[in-house]
Amino acid sequence: MKNPINRRDALFGSLALSLGASLSGCSAPSSDILPSAAKLSPRPNFLFLPIDDLNDWIGVLGTNDDVKTPNIDALANQGVLFENAYAQAPICGPSRASLMSGLYPHQTGIYGQVADSSLRDAIGAVSGANFMTEHLRDNGYYAAGRGKIFHNAAPEGTFDDFAREGEFGPKPPKRMAWDSNRTHTDWGPFPETDSEMLDYKTARWGEEWLSRKRDHPFFLGLGMVRPHAPWHVPQKWFDMYPLEDITLPPWLEDDANDLPERAKSLTDVPQMPSIEWAIENNEWRPILQAYLASITFVDHCIGIAVDALARSEYADNTYIILFSDNGYHLGEKSRFAKMSLWERSTRIPLIVTGPGISPKRIDAPVGLIDLYPTIIELSGLPRKPENAGHSLLPFLNDDGEARDPVTSVYGKDNFAVSDGRYKYIRYDNGEEELYDLQSDPHEWTNVAGDLEYRKDRDRLAAFIPIQTHGAVIVDPNSTRIKPK
């Protein structure tokens, strides 16, 4: 079988050349690679590539030996790969509300799924902050998008041109592997062709959009829904991962023995397959196969969009920002789900490339909360004091800086603090977890009570916010939300 993701290296090569030559239109001296995008003429464009439920399984991160992501890897090798990037919430809605508003979930009180139509009012109750695309539009940008940018589509008024077709389909007439009406979870090869897939349509829509003449600087968002469940993609992507070749992720059967009770109750998601069910029914590898196939299919769609940019007249002046909104467990910690504060749910890929950016890997902790201020600074607009994150420009500028640990939250007052070496978790009842990720990358040994780690525990605990809002809380046993 011909490899369906064997893309033309020349197209990626052309993008690399265009990025390297992109300062030809800048008035800044060559020593200031990215001083302030106000000096860029014209203002730069943005190709924004959110991916839904992609954990840190991409080739360049080395976290999974089986995964095939040649297009994402090529992008990372041309720009800045943030090796310790974290979502601010391990679930789609609050994560995207946070990154698009520039506010942490504990500031907005949005911890669960809020309809896009209600998002503006929910955030407006605690802050006057406007959304990222609104701020760009107010300052001369044209915002266009398709697919999943916010939780479902986009609040009215946030884009000049927006389209969202379907939800997480297409889906077969009858469930193929997992029958529960409380979750999208299912897996198996479907449909027959890429052209029937929403992400393929989004990528081709973006390709056509980039081929047209634009009179204003633009923000183009192409939101991919895979590998969000159901894990359905055409058979050819499954064929790239023979079951017998798939490696099971590390798993410790008695891992929960040292977990606090709140950790167990908060992460109990009964509508998902359990690890015991997956093992007993020989479905662990088929689940992995379907998730990996979904990743590689999305990688193909990313390649379509990036290649289209490389062929366009905008290649020399467009930043590409690729990321996932949260991670996903595939058997680790005995679960098949997101919605936890452990690494597999919170650590995500984040790549930035574009004019003047040289390839590098950054191990400092950063978050999706940092994207809004980064885009503002790259576009040369005044900084917004209400942005809770910090611009990533120093890292793009080769002026690396020390960064505070990054916080993530799942439900009111359940926090994780990550600095790349340690992961500290404190729940709303005061129970704690602490993991030394250097010696314990799978988070199997909770050392929160060990005197040896008291100093690191206290250091990380100091970054947990004191004041939090509770407008919306998560019902851990349901996909619904409920008012406080």
CB of 333 closer than 8 Å to CB of 255: yes
- The answer to whether the peptide bond before residue 349 is cis (omega within 30 degrees of 0) is no
Whole-number Å distance between alpha carbons of 165 and 436: 43
| Sequence-ordered list of residues with C-beta below 8 angstroms from that of 281, at least 6 positions apart, any chain | none
How is residue 414 written in tokens?
A: 């359940």
Q: CA-to-CA distance for 432 and 12, rounded, in angstroms?
A: 46
| Token duo for residue 166 | 């379907």
Residue 223 zone, left/alpha/beta (φ > 0; ψ -120 to 50; rest): beta
CA 131 to chain centre: 18
- From 411, 429, 423, select the one nearest 456 (Cα to Cα): 423
Catalytic residue among 151, 184, 228, 232: 151
Please, are residues 52 and 327 in contact by the beta-carbon 8 Å criterion? no
Output the six-digit token pair for 64: 């999974």
Any idea which residue has 């590390």 for tokens? 250
Q: From the candidates 26, 92, 106, 184, give the one annotated as an active-site residue.
A: 92
Q: How many helices (H) and strands (E) does the chain have?
A: 15, 17
Say whether 469 is catalytic.
Answer: no
Residues 6+ apart with CB under 8 A from 282: none
Active site residue 92: yes
Q: Can you list the pairs that 422-427 forms with residues at least 24 positions away whose Cβ atoms lie under 8 Å?
A: 422/453, 422/456, 422/460, 423/342, 423/343, 424/448, 424/456, 424/457, 424/460, 424/461, 425/263, 425/341, 425/342, 426/461, 426/464, 427/260, 427/262, 427/263, 427/266
Give catalytic residue positions. Answer: 92, 151
